[in-house]
Amino acid sequence: MALNGLLDIELAVPDPQATFDFWLRRGMTQTAAGVLGTPDRPVQMRITEGSYRHLSTMHLSCESEADLAAIAKRLAEAGVASEVSDTTLSCTDPVFGHVIVIDVGSPHPLTPSQHRAFNGPGEQVRRNDRADAVMNRQPPPPRRVGHVVLATPDFKRSADFYVDTLGFRVSDGMFNRMLTFMRVESDHHNLLIQPGPTSYLNHYAIEVDDIDAVGQFGTAVIAEDPAANVVGIGRHNLGSNVFWYLTDPAGNMFEFFSDMDQIVDDEVWDRVHRRDDWDGKDGPAGFSVWGPKDPPPEFISPPDVKQIAAAREALGLR
């Protein structure tokens, strides 16, 4: 295993302070100028200024310097320039144009969630007490950035770059991998590449403790701005995660999620579960198991997509 972690991301937006403050209000903390952290991970998101909203940096980790050298070799073979200095490799994504930084290391382990007591039929776990979500209206702070979803007309070239050149592992695909769910950690997906009208950040995803936290965080966002709601709450098929999608002040869609599939044995997953050609007609491949059956149109074609395309064109990017 070479790549082993999604360490953090950087978002570029026209008004970074508004998005930064938005995440402070959600319980992230400022750990340096423009840097947001969570209790276990002091660096999770950097918010910087950009002429249009986009993912500007993806920061990954790999196990060893030998892994770094192997990635640099594959990048050279693919015609992508990279720089290696000590234990850090950097290159530019050939489709989206964001910076990719890979460090030898691994994500800081997450402190396990304190499980809330849930009662069930014949199972009195929580006795003589109200539910924790009722007593504690503030959910525990967000835990980490778990994945990003990128959309592009060049979805095949992009997915091939992440899988064949960088070494992401495919977990599932839809429509003969028009959509490619891939991972560098045990999460079912740390990255999803899918078709889109231009190359843009479809969403970034913040892991929270549990379904109650997803509900509490989503409710707090729409209490502040009802127009921020996109779609939720529900449970996805591929990845199994509980989701609620909303928009941040910059117009980026993001997801609060919990309870994603964890793949700790690649061979078992590939043999038992993985398919590259889910079509949504059978098996676990539609948008949701429960909750809204389909996402709204802005889920795949955001209202500012033409502005993003124009901004990219001005920079010579597709």
Closest CB 126 distance from Fe ion, rounded Å: 30
- Residue 248 within binding range of Fe ion, rule CB under 5 A: no
C-beta of 193 vs 205, nearer to Fe ion: 205
Closest CB 82 distance from Fe ion, rounded Å: 28
Q: In what order do the strands lie in the sheet with 82-85?
A: 29-32, 35-37, 45-49, 3-13, 54-62, 99-104, 88-92, 82-85
C-beta of 67 vs 255, nearer to Fe ion: 255
Structure tokens at 151: 């959309």
Give residues with Cβ within 8 angstroms of 55, minimum separation 6.
Answer: 9, 10, 11, 12, 96, 98, 148, 150, 201, 204
Closest CB 181 distance from Fe ion, rounded Å: 10
C-beta of 212 vs 255, nearer to Fe ion: 255
Distance CA 106, CA 1 (A): 12
Amino acid at 87: T
Q: Is 314 exposed, middle or buried (0-12, 13-18, 19+ CB in 10 A)?
A: exposed
Closest CB 205 distance from Fe ion, rounded Å: 4
Rounded alpha-carbon distances, angstroms, from residue 72 to 156, 191, 206, 226, 276 = 21, 20, 30, 46, 27
Q: Which segment (133-141, 210-218, 247-255, 305-313) binds Fe ion by CB under 5 A?
A: 247-255
C-beta of 161 vs 245, nearer to Fe ion: 245
Q: Which segment (21-29, 200-208, 276-284, 289-297) binds Fe ion by CB under 5 A?
A: 200-208
Q: Which segment (28-36, 70-78, 201-209, 211-219) binds Fe ion by CB under 5 A?
A: 201-209
- Taking residues 220 to 239 in sequence order and writing x for each that binds Fe ion by CB under 5 A, - otherwise, the string is --------------------
Distance CA 58, CA 8 (A): 7
Closest CB 301 distance from Fe ion, rounded Å: 17
Planar angle of CA 238, 243, 248, nearest 5 degrees? 125
172, 207, 255, 261: which one binds Fe ion (CB under 5 A): 255
- Residue 205 within binding range of Fe ion, rule CB under 5 A: yes
Q: How is 301-316 classified by DSSP, letter by letter? A: S-TTHHHHHHHHHHTT
- Residue 172 within binding range of Fe ion, rule CB under 5 A: no
Q: How far is CA 179 from the centre of its chain?
A: 15
Q: How many residues bind Fe ion (CB under 5 A)?
A: 2
C-beta of 209 vs 255, nearer to Fe ion: 255
Which positions touch Fe ion (CB under 5 A)?
Answer: 205, 255
